Chain A
């Protein structure tokens, strides 16, 4: 080949945006230009999109706190949900006892938000980016947990300020008064109080809540004071305003524990699961389960709720739904704690074996995104650190 000409920036940027985060971390010292490029917000977002579009994967977190068993694994988005053996992720927040373990709140742009789950409430929040092994432990909030309280968290990315934010709702007095709300923004590094709308004083979230971030908003399932009217409560991460989205009519009066907010692909979805086991009907032990998933085809348009998944098992409880993949495969946690993938053709494969009973398991499945987020904040993960911090709180 003739003279080695300098490559156009477009080509360099395009190539780098398709590389794993690990290569990019190393190559920040290739040149000054590369260091600045890889650290820039624009590149980070381009990398997030390009790399993950080409390498779609899922993460599975398995926790069995009675067996002190915990791991975090990555799987390809293929038919068999194949384990990605080349990308080993060390999960740095392992349990030390039954009362000291972490719960995953959610994932956004490759950042995992976790909180401690020590019974009384969640005061400690950690943001963790597994692909660059970075973590940020948030300072303690203003409204600490007390015995009669429970805490609801939400996590998302604010496009406007290019920042990650955690919103925390502290319900005291068993939820009889409205929550006290505060927001933590990574760039400012402090918890800031936010008003909860007055008219909503009696708007409840069940203590067994889940959340998803989508379209710039955090979503939880909530209900009014006498638990008679359910809807989705939203918190806009940019404007920091609360809002409400109506649920599909069928779910408005269902018990809150049967409804979970979720994502199918990029779309907001709600999952209904009603499982019965060992209930006595005419002296016979019976089991059954029903699953329904609605997707909101057009965001914030309640007329676009579409039922896309509807299954009833008249003689078995298949377990708790964890994630519906785009291809229609359902990932479930069985009653005995196994993680099982059911694909459309009825084929089932087991990802992890549980032990007899699943009540002490907490499994989590989500899209895994390789990302450079938190590169300029927080610090490297060391195994002991998280635990030490936890002990101090405990």
Chain B
């Protein structure tokens, strides 16, 4: 019996094939398959093709369970750019692949831990809604942490 294949479609309408037994590591896909057999194409409107290619690479890994922890760490380490990691974390969130999301977030945390306020706002796309006075009050409270 041949293995069943699923087709995933990225935000920019590119198609990716993946064997069903590997794709169902994603809880989101597993639920879709359970509900309607997912015969046709599964659209992923928030995931771009570059990121989806990475996710597919991750899902296709051939690792023994005991090596898996190290593999996912190495996998995100090799994609050390913050924007890529954030996209990957978001895709993993949408697809509900907990291990991948945790590893991507952990790597981002490690990369940004020494950032200044401005740097972290830029990296995590946060709008500054604090006044300079409010900022100063917090800075004065924990001067040593700055």
Binding site for B on A (CB under 8 A): 1-2, 4-8, 10-12, 14-16, 18-20, 22-23, 25-32, 34-35, 54, 132-133, 380
Contact = CB atoms under 8 A, between A and B. Distances in A.
B135 interface: yes
A344 B121 CA distance: 47
Contact of B105 (A18, A35, A133): A18
Contacts of B32: none
B127 A31 contact: yes
Contacts of B67: none
6 contacts: A8-B90, A19-B112, A19-B113, A30-B120, A32-B129, A133-B144
A18 B101 CA distance: 13
B113 A20 contact: yes
Q: Give the 5 A-B CB pairs with smallest separation, nearest first.
A: A18-B109, A25-B145, A14-B105, A29-B138, A29-B135
B126 A30 contact: yes
Interface in B70-101: 83, 86-87, 89-90, 93, 101
Contacts of B89: 11, 14-15
A29 B90 contact: no
B124 interface: yes
* Interface residues on chain B, size class: 35 or more
Contacts of A23: 112-115, 145
Given A15-B109, A20-B113, 20 more contacts: A1-B83, A7-B90, A7-B124, A10-B93, A11-B101, A14-B101, A19-B113, A23-B115, A23-B145, A26-B145, A28-B138, A29-B117, A30-B117, A31-B127, A32-B129, A32-B130, A34-B126, A54-B106, A133-B144, A380-B142
Nearest to B130: A29
Nearest to B137: A29
A29 B138 CA distance: 6
A19 B109 contact: yes
A18 B114 contact: no
B20 interface: no
A54 B129 CA distance: 32
Contacts of A35: 138
A69 B51 CA distance: 55
Interface string B120-146: 110011111110001100110110111
Given A1-B83, A11-B86, A26 B105 contact: no
A380 B144 CA distance: 10
Nearest to B84: A1
B146 to A, nearest CB: 6
A28 B114 CA distance: 14
A31 B87 CA distance: 22
B142 to A, nearest CB: 4
Contacts of B120: 27, 30
B10 to A, nearest CB: 12
Nearest to A19: B109
Contacts of B48: 2
A126 B126 CA distance: 38
Contacts of B101: 11, 14
Given A10-B93, A28-B138, A29-B130, A15 B117 contact: no
A31 B128 contact: yes
Contacts of A31: 121, 126-130
B105 A5 contact: no
B93 A26 contact: no
Nearest to B145: A25
Contacts of B134: 29
B118 to A, nearest CB: 9
Contacts of A7: 86, 90, 124-125
Contacts of A2: 48
B93 A6 contact: no
Contact of A26 (B102, B117, B126, B129): B117
A27 B128 CA distance: 11
A1 B90 CA distance: 14
A23 B109 CA distance: 10
B8 interface: no
